[in-house]
Structure formats: structure tokens, C-alpha cells
Amino acid sequence: MRTYPPTPAAHATIWLALSLLPTLTAQAEPALPTPLSLEVAWSLASAAHPDRAMEQAAYARAQAEVRRAHAASNPRLDARLDARYINPPPNSPYPEHNDSNAALILSQPIYDFGRTRSRAQAAEADVEAAFHVKAEAVARQRLEIMRRFFDVLLADQHFAEANEAMAVAYVNFDRARDRNKLGQLSDIELLAREEAYQASRSRRHADEAAQRATRALLAGAIGTPDVLPEQLLPPKLEGINRKPPDYDVLLMQAMRQNPALIALRARVKHALATLAERRAEGNPRLGLELRATRYARDFGTRDPFSAGLVLEVPLYSGDRVDADSALANAEVARTQAMLGRYEYRLRQAVLETWQRLLTLDAQAQALAVQTDYRDLYLDRSRALYDLQLKTDLGDAMVQQSATRTRALANRYQRALAWETLALLTGDAGLEPTDRTEHKP
């Protein structure tokens, strides 16, 4: 076979592919660990997640506002160049036309009667609010990852249950076909068995689709939407069997430590400080000004150096100060109303979560008894099947799987309730897992 050397176009194509290969490799996200544990999922939580990125940007902006507020009282040095051309009088002893000058001006604010102090207090309150909102965003991402992690585990459990149910339904349908051929079973009974098989088969396909959908939601919660987890490692969740604290204790913790509530209280402080700043706009300003000037036309009445105190007294603002104060006062009323509304909602959320945890604990006890019953029932059915006294073992297996699925769902719901209480109260000790292994 005759070979031909690469053409210039081929050279260009190969070079382009090789140049793009490192870029494509760098852009490819690494696969998630398999099996993926809940602790590792928390450790992989991306700070670039949109919710966390927004709160981080708000926190950085608040810090910049603090710097800006404190910088208002710092000295300022300006260079000023005034280029002027004049026509002096005919008999002037200084006939030059160039009357330019260059000056260095140092300005130092001394006192503005509360304006700068109020602006700094507002900015610092904004930083406090942004910090606690950022902390809540981390806690909410942790809760969301836990919820999506459990959804994947339950989807896998539902798929296994549906797969088992489909297998049982198919065996029943296959036996029915054999009996129908022998004339021992009517056509309508055969269709009933086939309908049950098709229904279980359809459910299996739906549960299989849910496996991928829940994995996509978990990847999005972690912050890696293009990398789906494969196998998950069920968590131990040793903290879900504790007795819940009293409601009054939880409410007191929530009112003292809830990050969103603390952030809203800081917003109120910010609004009050902003109102004080707006009202101080009508106050005088006192400052120091030092000036060094170099003149093109130098004569005795011009001073190369000067220093002075500058007092600015606003005489008329055209109702601007009153209008700005009214807007700031309305913002105070709005933030106070938001704070009161959130306190109502927080009380209700703590109460509902606490009551839900008590209900789930009672359900867990009932499911434990039901699980024991289903296990014994399956053992008896298996023994009767071995003695050929019972021809169908599948229904007992399906019922046992369904009971275990309900018990697993109850376990995960209790873990989510504990994690929600930890978020609402700001108490990491209420989390159902041990944080000493990893902090997200």
C-alpha cells in the first residue's frame, strides 16, 4: 500500500487538535469518589455554588463599604493645576500674560457632627448581617446536600423494590400463561396477571428514571452539575435516636442564635444608623486645609504656603435632607417589620419541626414492630414454600421490601428534622452526624 505524506491542511488540523487537548482536559471535571459518603459530599460542596457565591459577594461588598466609610475621615492630598492666560493693564508692573499656578492641597476632616460615625456604624452593621447570611447559606447548602443525598438512596431502594416486584409479577404472569394453555385459567384472569406485570414494569422504568434525576439534583446541590455520583455510602446517623429537647429550650436557642434572625437585627441597626446619617446631612462640617502653591506671576500679595480651618454650614438644601430622612425612616420601619415577621415564622418553623420529629419517632417505633413482623412472616412463608404447602413466596418478599423502604424513609426524615433544628437554632450539636470528622 502506498502512503502519502500529510498535507499542510492535515498538519494544521493535527496541530489544532493537540493544542486544544490540554484545554479540554483541564476543563473536564474530576469524577466524584465511589462510593460517595455524606461527609465527603459536604467536603466537596463548592463555594462557587450560585447561592453561596451571591452571599460571598454581598459580604465582600459590605466589607468594602466599611473601608469606604472609615476612609471619609482620612486626609486627602490633591494636586491642582490652573492654566490661565490674561491681558494685564498697560501700566501693570507685571506685564506677563501667563498667570498659571500649581498647588498641592492637603485636606483633613476634623468633625462633621455625627455624619461619618453614623455611616461607619451602618457599614459595620451591614458586614455583620452579610456575615450571618453567608453562614446561613453554608448551613442551607449542607441541609440541601443531605436532602438530595437521601433522595438518591431512597430512589435506589425504590428501584430495587420495583425490580423485585416486577420479577414476582412476571413469574405470576408466566405461570398464568402455562395454566391458560392447559385450560386451567381463563383469559380474563390471564389478562389480569399481565396487567399487574405491565404496571410493575412501568413503575420500574419510572423508578429507574428517578435514580438519574435525584443524582442530578445531588450534583447540583454539591456544585458539580456536570458530574453525577454513582454509588452512595449510607450514613450511620447515630444522632437521630436522641430524645428531642423541650420546645421552650429550642425556641430560646433559635431566638438567640438563628443566623437569619441575627442578620435581620443587624439590618435594623444598619437602617437606624443610616437614618442618623441622613439627618446629620444638615449639620456643619469642620476641616483643616493646607496649601502649597507655585505661581507663574509672583508678586508680594501671593502666599506660597497657607493653612486654615474651613467651616461649612448648610443654609438651604431644597428639602433634600428631609426627603432623605423620610426614606431612611421608611427603611427602618420596613426592616423592623421584616424582623417581626421572621420571628413569627421562626417560632412556627421550630414548633412544626419539633412536632414532626416527635411524630417521626413514634412512627419509627411502629415501623420497627412492622419490620419484625414482616421478617417473621417471610421466614414462615419460606418454610411453607420449602414444605410445598405454599406455592408463592414473592408477595411476602415484596411486602418485606416495602416495609424496609418505609423504615429507611422514616430514618432519613428524622435526620432531616434534626438537621433543620440545627439550622433554625444555630446549634451544631443538634446535627444528626458527628461534625468532628469533617467541617464543610
Residue 273 contacts residue 125 (beta carbons within 8 Å): yes
Architecture of domain 37-83+107-430: Up-down Bundle (1.20)
pLDDT of residue 430: 93
pLDDT in the model for residue 396: 62
Chain centroid to Cα 365, Å, comes to: 34
Distance from C-alpha of 112 to C-alpha of 277, rounded to nearest angstrom: 10
**Which residues lie closer than 8 Å to 283 by C-beta, 6 or more apart?**
112, 113, 114, 115, 314
pLDDT of residue 299: 73
- pLDDT at 10 (0 to 100): 42
Q: Give the pLDDT of residue 2.
A: 41
Q: What is the mean pLDDT of each run of 10 residues along the chain (440 residues)?
A: 43 41 46 88 86 90 92 91 86 80 92 90 95 93 95 92 84 88 88 90 91 94 90 91 93 96 96 93 91 82 86 86 93 96 97 95 84 65 55 60 84 95 94 56
Domain ranges of the chain: 37-83+107-430
**Grid cell listed for 362:** 413514634
Output the pLDDT for position 381. Answer: 63
Instruction: Report pLDDT for 17.
Output: 41
Q: Would you state the pLDDT for residue 401? A: 72
pLDDT given at position 33: 85
